[in-house]
């Protein structure tokens, strides 16, 4: 997979508090807007593969995602699960906003996404 950023949507399509699932380089990725900061992560819950776009975000800090099926809680800055505790549970993608566009790329292996 390329390590370049890929444009996946417009900022106006993901207003604060909302999530959206997109495709990037053949993978499903979910974008979240938490109080104006964009996060991206693998689209399916590592517990039982629930689509994480059907979840809720919490402002924090740290910014968090609560899975809509069984309630696992993830730190969106690191990918760590908070409940139940498990380090680097959810693969986080790097994000950037260029003008009105959201761009993502996978974080380097073993590294939390830089913001």
Residues found near ligand FES in the complex (CB under 6 A): 45, 47-48, 50, 67, 69-72
Q: Which is nearer to ligand FES, 90 or 102 (CB)?
A: 90
Please, what is the Cα angle at 20 between 15 and 26, to 5 degrees? 140
CB of 100 to ligand FES, least distance (A): 31
How far apart are CB 49 and ligand FES at their closest, in Å?
A: 6
Q: How far is the CB of 71 from ligand FES (least distance, A)?
A: 6
Task: For ligand FES, give the closer residue by CB, 5 or 50.
Answer: 50
**Beta carbon of residue 10, minimum distance to ligand FES (angstroms, whole number):** 28
Token pair recorded at residue 79: 């990918």
Structure tokens at 15: 């207003």
**Whole-angstrom Cα distance, residue 84 to residue 114?**
24
Between the CA of residue 13 and those of 6, 21, 51, 84, 88, what are the distances in Å?
Answer: 16, 11, 18, 31, 28
What backbone torsions phi and psi does residue 19 show, to the nearest 5 degrees?
Answer: -130, 155
Pick the closer one to ligand FES by CB: 40 or 65: 65
Q: Which is nearer to ligand FES, 5 or 44 (CB)?
A: 44
């Amino acid at each position: 997979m390329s390590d370049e950023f890929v444009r996946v949507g417009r900022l106006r399509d993901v207003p604060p508090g909302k999530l959206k699932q997109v495709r990037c380089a053949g993978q499903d990725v979910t974008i979240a807007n938490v109080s104006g900061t964009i996060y991206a992560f693998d689209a399916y819950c590592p517990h039982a593969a629930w689509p994480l776009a059907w979840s809720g975000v919490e402002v924090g800090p740290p910014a968090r995602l609560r899975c809509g099926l069984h309630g696992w809680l993830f730190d969106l800055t690191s990918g760590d699960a908070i409940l139940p505790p498990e380090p680097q549970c959810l693969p986080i993608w790097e994000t950037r906003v260029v003008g009105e566009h959201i761009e993502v790329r996978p974080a380097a292996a073993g590294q939390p996404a830089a913001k």
